[in-house]
Amino acid sequence: MAMFKAQYAHRGPVPQDVIRAVPLELPPTAAGQALVAMLASPINPSNLLTLTGEYGVLPALPAIGGSEGVGRIAELGDGVSGLSVGQLVLLPRGSGTWVTHLLADASALVPLPEAADPLQLAMLTVNPPTASLMLSEFVPLAPGDWVIQNVANSGVGGYLMQLARRRGLRTVNLVRRESAVAATKAQGGDVVLVDGEDLAQRVREVTGGAEIRLGIDAVGGSATDRLAQCLSEGGTLVNYGMMSGEPCRVAPSSLIFRDIRLRGFWLVKWFREASRDAQRALYGELAQLVAGGVLHARVHATYPVQKIREAVAAANGGERDGKILVTGSAA
């Protein structure tokens, strides 16, 4: 059985240039472990930033890419109960998932509904909880309230629209190009606009001047300030990404005269501080929504581990309609 891993020994500005598929050798499955054949693992912006060295936590080198995914149990070590060979499971978060196979502590595997689409379940660990927590952790919102976000056609943006609609919230969704408007509306966006000049005025017109107390920013730079100008007095702006590569900029007039607050969100930090019960409750709810088709993300393309450079290049490219996923031997 040929096994492969997507490994990198250094970091650099072009992520696809630093990673390659190499043969994988694993020791025998030990007591308490499970050998898992990977089915699918997404390429998230955080994975690309890890390859370039710009992420908040960087693994020791050499390292294997990937941080989430799903697989099927191929073998169980002695002493493992509650799991069975062939079972669909969620891979441990941050375990290096761009592989055909991995050995994992069996107690860290989460059984998943068999009837669900593995590609959708593969994206469960990072983007859905990020979207859910940003909607609930910063501003108390009630049905009918408005939320505004940029890069709404991203993975997090799509989940945020779907969760907001389920909670009775209304969303203003910003995209960077006209060609992304229709698909973003189809995912549940109440209002979809192309980001740019006169944004605050256009938002007031389409919402009837409604109060917007929560903004979600994945870009930084001048895009942060455009969102700030759309918020009502005392509003909170949450940044979770740096797609522009620039520091967040907010005009002093927004901070001083309108009391706009700029906050940051990092899922890794939430996991460090949240209780195990809170984590299980969040993932339990989201897993059921994904399994039931309530939450879903567009998939642009899939690539086997052996074509990891092409996969990373596609994920790092500009215009695409959905997520890039890496698939393993069991796909």
Q: Which residues contact 119 (CB under 8 A, 6 or more apart)?
A: 40, 299, 302, 325
Q: Which residues contact 146 (CB under 8 A, 6 or more apart)?
A: 169, 170, 171, 172, 207, 210, 211, 212, 213
> Around Cβ 236, how many Cβ atoms within 10 Å?
16
Residues written for the chain = 331
- Between CA 19 and CA 58 the distance in angstroms is 15
Q: Which of 8, 55, 159, 240 is catalytic?
A: 55
283 included as an active-site residue = no
- Between CA 331 and CA 328 the distance in angstroms is 6
Q: Which residues contact 64 (CB under 8 A, 6 or more apart)?
A: 5, 6, 7, 96, 97, 98, 99
- Between CA 24 and CA 235 the distance in angstroms is 50
Pull the structure tokens for residue 303.
Answer: 């690539």
- Between CA 214 and CA 39 the distance in angstroms is 37
Q: 59: which DSSP letter?
A: P
Task: List helix spans (H) across the chain.
Answer: 45-52, 118-121, 127-136, 155-166, 181-186, 199-207, 222-230, 252-257, 267-273, 276-291, 308-316
Long-range contacts: 27-31, Cβ < 8 Å, 24+?
27/103, 29/75, 29/76, 29/77, 29/103, 30/77, 30/103, 31/77, 31/78, 31/79, 31/80
Active-site positions read: 55
